[in-house]
């Protein structure tokens, strides 16, 4: 029952986040100082970026918050420490800014290409822009928790009697 409730909560947050991201980026493209920087045929690129930003934030933020309160007295699980949760949230917001920058750059294709072609190219540019970030060996910079086993309890009894 708890899994179903958590799943529905995360799915709803992801969907509402995507809608909020679209509203935010549409407002940026139409009513803000960026309206002069975004060509009319590139406006859909910001909307695509808004879907990614809102959906990703809506998916991961509830999971980070649930990681803070994970486990019970009877069945303890590894919880996120507040510093880890803050670092994860900061990384998520940094990635959101990165996606918005990529979508603003992809929107500039609208100056040279028609809207349909700009939209198709923006989907690929924004959708695959995270791949270089995934190929960076973050553990060499000390930015991962290599000693932590996610999902496993930290019991000494789990290896057998002893």
How many independent structural domains does the chain possess? 1
The predicted model scores a pTM of 0.72
Got the DSSP string for 94-160?
A: HHHHHHHHHHHHHHGGGGTS-HHHHHHHHHHHHHTTTHHHHHS-GGGGT-S-TT--TT----SGGG-
Q: Is the Cα dihedral 28, 130, 95, 77 positive or negative?
A: positive
- The boundaries of the domain holding residue 52 are 2-70+79-136
Q: What is the mean pLDDT of residues 4-27?
A: 86
Assigned domain for 121 exists: yes
Query: Which tokens in the block code for residue 54?
Result: 């809102």
- As a whole number of Å, the end-to-end CA separation of the chain is 35
Assigned domain for 14 exists: yes
pLDDT at 22 over 50: yes
Assigned domain for 128 exists: yes
Q: pLDDT confidence of 121, banded at 50, 70, 90?
A: confident
Task: Give percent of the chain with pLDDT exceeding 90.
Answer: 1
Assigned domain for 54 exists: yes
**DSSP 8-class letter at 128:** T
Assigned domain for 156 exists: no
pLDDT at 93 over 80: yes
Assigned domain for 107 exists: yes
Assigned domain for 27 exists: yes
For 123, the enclosing helix (H) or strand (E) is helix 115-127
Rounded CA-CA distance 13/37 in Å is 31
Assigned domain for 31 exists: yes
pLDDT at 37 over 60: yes
């Amino acid at each position: 029952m708890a899994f179903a409730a958590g799943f529905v909560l995360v799915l709803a947050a992801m969907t509402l986040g995507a809608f909020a991201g679209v509203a935010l980026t549409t407002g940026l493209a139409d009513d803000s100082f960026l309206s002069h920087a975004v060509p009319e045929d590139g406006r859909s690129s910001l909307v695509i970026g808004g879907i990614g930003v809102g959906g990703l934030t809506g998916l991961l933020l509830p999971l980070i918050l649930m990681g803070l309160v994970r486990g019970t007295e009877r069945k303890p699980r590894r919880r996120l420490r507040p510093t880890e949760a803050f670092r994860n949230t900061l990384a998520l917001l940094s990635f959101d800014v990165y996606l918005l920058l990529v979508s603003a750059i992809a929107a500039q294709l609208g100056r040279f290409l028609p809207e349909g072609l700009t939209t198709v190219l923006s989907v690929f540019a924004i959708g695959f822009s995270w791949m270089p970030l995934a190929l960076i060996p973050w553990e060499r910079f000390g930015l991962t928790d290599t000693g932590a086993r996610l999902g496993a309890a930290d019991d000494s009894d789990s290896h057998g009697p002893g």
